[in-house]
């Protein structure tokens, strides 16, 4: 049993190393977009990604054909969603600095990572329509950072 364990550990390390070499760049960028930090000073994004990748390493033998990239991205999104309430203010250098944490999460999943609306909704436990609404709103904020965005909520515009 000890020998089999050693062989299994070596195989897991080899496969995992190849996976990280291929996926870490894109995941690091996604994590930095989520935490809204500048690309060269991103301690929170590094912590978030290290935690998600460690989870993927720990369940590597039980993946059974599931895509490790999807698994890591799911970890990343759920860890981030769970810690939204204690996020400090976004750094102005980040491209997503003007978005709320929830808008960042949905925009990164939907547009940067290309996750389908249904899957993103299932991952975050939101209705599909809500994901679509938030994504549209976030896109509008992102493209029109200053001045009135094209879709101003009516209630806000009318209230004295």
Partner 1 sequence: MKRAEREAAARRIMERAPTPVPPELYPEVLRRGRRMLRRRRATARLMWLLLLAATAAFVIWALTARPWVEPPSETTPPLTGW
Q: How far apart are CA 59 and CA 39, in angstroms?
A: 29
Determine contact, residues 133/120, Cβ cutoff 8 Å: no
Residue 121, number of CB atoms within 10 A of its CB? 20
User: Should residue 17 be labelled a site residue for partner 1 when binding is judged by CB under 8 A?
Assistant: yes
Question: CA 47 to CA 69: how far, in whole Å?
Answer: 17
Do 100 and 141 touch, CB atoms closer than 8 A? Answer: no
Contact code string over 25-64 relative to partner 1, x by CB under 8 A? x--xx--xx-----xx-x--xx--xxx-xxxxxx------
Q: CB of 57: closest distance to partner 1 in angstroms?
A: 3
Find the shortest distance in angstroms from Cβ 131 to partner 1. Answer: 13
Q: Which is nearer to partner 1, 32 or 131 (CB)?
A: 32
Question: Residue count at the site for partner 1 (CB under 8 A)?
Answer: 36
Among 81, 97, 126, 142, binds partner 1 (CB under 8 A): 142
* Least Cβ distance, residue 32 to partner 1 (angstroms): 5
C-alpha–C-alpha distance, residues 126 and 129, integer Å? 8
Residue 91 beta carbon to partner 1: minimum distance, rounded to whole angstroms: 13
Which residues ranging from 89 to 128 are in contact with partner 1 (CB under 8 A)?
A: 95-96, 107-108, 111-112
Interaction site with partner 1 (CB under 8 A): 13, 16-17, 20, 24-25, 28-29, 32-33, 39-40, 42, 45-46, 49-51, 53-58, 95-96, 107-108, 111-112, 136, 138-140, 142-143
């Amino acid at each position: 049993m000890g020998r089999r364990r050693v062989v299994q550990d070596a195989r897991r390390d080899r496969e995992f190393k190849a996976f990280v070499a291929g996926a870490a760049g894109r995941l690091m960028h996604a994590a930095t977009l989520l935490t809204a930090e500048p690309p060269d000073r991103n301690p929170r994004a590094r912590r978030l990604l290290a935690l998600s990748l460690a989870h993927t390493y720990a369940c590597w033998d039980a993946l059974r054909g599931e895509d490790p990239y999807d698994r890591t991205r799911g970890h990343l999104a759920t860890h981030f969603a769970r810690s939204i309430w204690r996020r400090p203010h976004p750094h102005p250098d980040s491209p997503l600095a003007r978005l709320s944490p929830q808008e960042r999460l949905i925009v990164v999943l939907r547009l940067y990572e290309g996750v389908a609306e249904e899957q993103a909704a299932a991952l975050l436990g939101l209705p599909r329509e809500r994901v679509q609404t938030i994504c549209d709103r976030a896109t509008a904020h992102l493209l029109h950072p200053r001045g009135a965005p094209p879709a101003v909520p009516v209630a806000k515009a009318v209230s004295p």
